[in-house]
Amino acid sequence: MKRCIVILIVVFILFSGCSKAKEEAAAEKTYELNYAVFFPATHLQAHAAESWAKEVEERSGGRIKITMFHGGTLSNAAQTYEAVVSGVADIGMSVFAYTRGRFPLLEGLDLPVGYPDGLTATRAANEMVKKYEPEELSDVHVLYLHAHGPGILASKKSVNSVKEMASMKIRATGLSAKIVTALGGTPVSMSQGDTYEALQKGVVDATFCPIETLKGWKQGEVIDYVVDTKAIGYTTAMFSVMNKDAWNSLPEDLQQIINEVSDEWIDRHGEAWDQSDREGEDFVKELGKDFIALPESEQSALVAAMEPIYAEYIQTTEEKGLPGEAFLNDLLAMLK
């Protein structure tokens, strides 16, 4: 009996020693991660991502090292999510809408629900993901989401009513194209890089965009009016996610650090979008462009025109067995 007890004690000591050795090895190990960001290195949003990485490195005492790959150099924007899933990228930031149909429930985040600013849109996106835990994000570890400020109408023509929009050719892609159609206008799809010349030459009369675009892409130089359409302010939700194997390889204390920094960066990144919008607005004002505030009756008409877009989203998600109506109602209630 005594011999068995001795053997058990020896085994326990050996096991404890091995566990302690593993813990010490994990504490000394450096984890090297790469981060694919589709924004160019000069963009304010790339700066926000880089500051997140530096904060993680600092709080981890250098145990985590993150190498940034800006401007699609590791993975192009449309493939970034799958690059994270497959492990090509350990961490990735891009736009949900770049892979239409891949995130059917989360497409609700981009609907024209009247976002007042980027911080509100960013907070709402994160709260909705935490509440609904969508299956479409189950193959990654979500760090945080962020979203730009409300899309406005930047126009070469003075626009004072919804009726006037019906005769216009408006640069719009994806969801914003549906908004133009709902308003009776003609959507014209093109990249941001082609929009400046299209406005300059009159190929289009206006563009739907967050106001920061008017500085970032210099489009403020070739428009004359900024029409406040925040009543139907849409956003573009973006993700920062991590490969699951990479996440699971980290010890618990490092996972906690990453989650804590990510929670803090929800507001940091939302505020970065608002800073971009302020800079865009200042840029347009310096150029002497006119700002048009629509009367309340026209704002109500804008909102009413969006009902078919809401209905289409609800129908599409319900056909997939997803709670689209509840998701939209929660989002609208949150914004109120």
Are 158 and 179 part of one and the same domain? yes
Residue 202 and residue 170 in contact, taking contact as beta carbons nearer than 8 Å: no
- In angstroms, the CA 223 to CA 225 distance is 6
Are 111 and 144 part of one and the same domain? yes
Is 155 or 24 the better-scoring residue by pLDDT?
A: 155
Are 93 and 63 part of one and the same domain? yes
pLDDT above 70 as % of the chain = 92
Number of domains in the chain: 2
Q: Identify the domain boundary among 224, 257, 277.
A: 277
Helix (H, G, I), strand (E, B) or coil at 269: helix
Are 292 and 250 part of one and the same domain? no
* 159 occurs within a structural domain: yes
- Determine the distance from the C-alpha atom of residue 192 to the mean position of all C-alpha atoms in its chain, rounded to a whole number: 17
Local confidence band at 10 (pLDDT 50, 70, 90 cut-offs): very low
Are 156 and 292 part of one and the same domain? yes
* 248 occurs within a structural domain: yes
Query: Which range of residues forms the domain containing residue 74?
Result: 31-148+236-277
H/E element, 172? none
Task: Summarize pLDDT for 185-244 with one digit per residue, the tens.
Answer: 999 998 888 999 999 999 999 999 999 999 999 999 999 999 999 999 999 999 999 999
* 4 occurs within a structural domain: no
Are 200 and 247 part of one and the same domain? no
Local confidence band at 73 (pLDDT 50, 70, 90 cut-offs): very high
Residues 6+ apart with CB under 8 A from 18: none
Are 193 and 268 part of one and the same domain? no
Are 244 and 297 part of one and the same domain? no
- Determine the distance from the C-alpha atom of residue 256 to the mean position of all C-alpha atoms in its chain, rounded to a whole number: 22
Task: Summarize pLDDT for 74-108 with one digit per residue, the tens.
Answer: 999 999 999 999 999 999 999 998 888 999 999 99
Are 228 and 241 part of one and the same domain? no
Query: In this structure, what CATH number is given to the domain that contains residue 113?
Result: 3.40.190.170
Are 85 and 136 part of one and the same domain? yes
* 331 occurs within a structural domain: no
* 261 occurs within a structural domain: yes
* 317 occurs within a structural domain: no
* 35 occurs within a structural domain: yes
pLDDT surpasses 90 at 294? yes
* 174 occurs within a structural domain: yes
The DSSP annotation for 7-19 comes to: HHHHHHHHHHHHH
Is the whole model's pTM more than 0.85, yes or no?
yes
Query: In this structure, what CATH number is given to the domain that contains residue 167?
Result: 3.40.190.10
Biggest CA-to-CA distance, the chain: 95
> What is residue 243's predicted lDDT score, i.e. its pLDDT?
98
Bridge partners, 240 (sequence order): 93, 144
Alpha helices in the chain (DSSP H): 2-28, 44-59, 80-86, 118-132, 162-165, 175-182, 192-201, 213-216, 244-248, 252-286, 296-305, 307-319, 324-335
Backbone dihedral angles phi then psi of residue 167, each to the nearest 5 degrees: -100, 10
Q: How far is CA 335 from CA 33, 124, 224, in A?
A: 36, 8, 31
Are 210 and 246 part of one and the same domain? no
Are 179 and 267 part of one and the same domain? no
